[in-house]
Structure 1
């Protein structure tokens, strides 16, 4: 018999709330078993996403409703199936910049943050710098530079239609009172018509091209969800980087800098390609946050007349 209140109406029985900490612990165990590389972080990020808060404030919300728990478990199940965390939350981060991501665009990785920091340092003393970001993907590098340097004129180039749509969306989301923070161009950087107006004008050129050698084993998050054309770069991973170097050199003004991300197996091969160009000097390879070779930098010089 259903209990009744003193006034004769059916009594509303409160539903017991559940411990958020217990739910997160269960999620960590499930993600660990599934082989997720950062189970604690991902479990907490998913919880924070559903609660509309941050990981650092989860301790302020000790109890959750059963309905929330069902949604959380469903999200954890998808992450255990190796759907990228960023696809589940809809966001990725590069430095202080947040971009939206999903199917059809490469997810920015923390390894690229070191490249972004170096890029910003290279133009810190340059007023109103001109920057070109090639293979822009979601637009994370270009927007990161534009956000840190509002005085910069940042141009971004992306060939793939899916990634270009995400980059346009992210550029629109970063509008702050004025126009779009970056000049986004759709097309292949090898198309001379696309960038002719920028030849010899750039203080900085950045690029995170596809560079993983074909056949390299990758995590399911990459192999099943990142676009293959944004990941793999031919038998040695250099099919895109080789022509990219010539384009970078043409875009740079004398004294301008370039930074190109590469595979951790290319710490010698990519710097060698840059060193072979007479117009490029100060070729230096840099490690990422894990200490692995990750990106190469160089400076454009003026060649003396023959």
Structure 2
């Protein structure tokens, strides 16, 4: 097996795959139905390479995503079913889920909605790690919602087929937390990685408009109507978009405590805000039309 793994590693390296040895081992482990650690032990003891490894390595060398070949993507504590038609969850999004989990942990029986859930990664993780939370997930894509349904069903998440800009009008003003990882890539910023450009659905990539922020703005507007006063909103975005997101949240005049959060790599990849509480006389507890801004690190 070790010889086959080395050969696979070289083929993947020549094809430009970023982690050739890891991918070769994961493909072999997938075929054998064992963990990567167990596979390494088997390779040391001279076990034979699994049948079909060459074919999978060929596909990976053509830059078909590893997760499409294994049918699975790891996210925090769970494994998600993924494949063509759904955005593969990224490690940086785990930091966004952590922000939601930390906030939800301070509340009794929180109501949470994930706008544009894709595979269901954030919603499933929140439901898994916050006992007693009532979690909703909204997704527009017919293909993605099929994957989300399979991933969310074990966690009791309520999946809604709808547009993040208009979904759940009957639930306005009832949620404690709204989270979103909407499409946010600008129209002319074509991803350089073949796995993304050729295999992630365009519907999940491009946010609309020259700056890619049409859908992030729509997610923020929906959060403002869905949240209770004092409710928490957090949204993922590109690093370069952080100041723009903070600016349009501030301009909306309904948010306070606007905070930029960094992912584990130190990049500004999410922004959170709190829906202003309004006094009985109609004035804001945070002052009229002035946003409180800060910078913090996500966990």
* TM-score using structure 2 length: 0.89
The residue aligned with 1:51 is 32
Q: Is the 8 A contact 2:229 2:278 kept in 1?
A: no
Matched-pair contact (CA < 8 Å) for 1:82–1:221: yes
2: distance between equivalents of 1:258 and 1:122? 10
Corresponding position: 1:182 with 2:157: yes
Q: Is the 8 A contact 1:279 1:303 kept in 2?
A: no
Tell me if the contact between 1:46 and 1:76 (Cα under 8 Å) persists in the aligned partners.
yes
Partner of 1:217: 190
Q: Distance in 1 between matches of 2:239 and 2:151?
A: 29
- Please list the CA deviations of residues 56-88 of structure 1 after superposition, one character each: whole Å capped at 9, or x if unmatched: 22232123436x2x5111111100100000000
Q: Which residue of 1 aligns with 2:296?
A: none
Contact 2:123 2:152 in 1 (8 A): no
Q: Deviations over 1:181-240 (max 9, x none)?
A: 11100011223xx41222111111110100011121311111111110100112211010
Which structure has the bigger radius of gyration? 1
What is the match of residue 213 of structure 2? 238
CA apart distance, 1:153: 0.5
Cα displacement (A) at 1:104: 0.7
Q: How far apart are the structure 2 equivalents of 1:198 and 1:97?
A: 28
What is the RMSD of the two structures over their aligned residues, measured on CA atoms? Answer: 1.4
Give SS of 1:164's match: helix
Residue matched to 1:78: 59
Aligned to 1:286: 261
How far apart are the structure 2 equivalents of 1:44 and 1:257?
A: 41
Q: Does 1:226 align with 2:200?
A: yes
Question: 2:112 is matched with which residue: 105, 124, 131?
Answer: 131
Q: Describe the SS at the equivalent of 1:224.
A: helix
Q: 1:202 maps to what in 2?
A: 175
> What corresponds to 1:255 in structure 2?
230
Provide structure 2 residue ranges, at least 5 long, that are not aligned to the other structure.
284-299
Tell me the matched-pair count: 277
**Counterpart in the other structure of 2:250:** 275
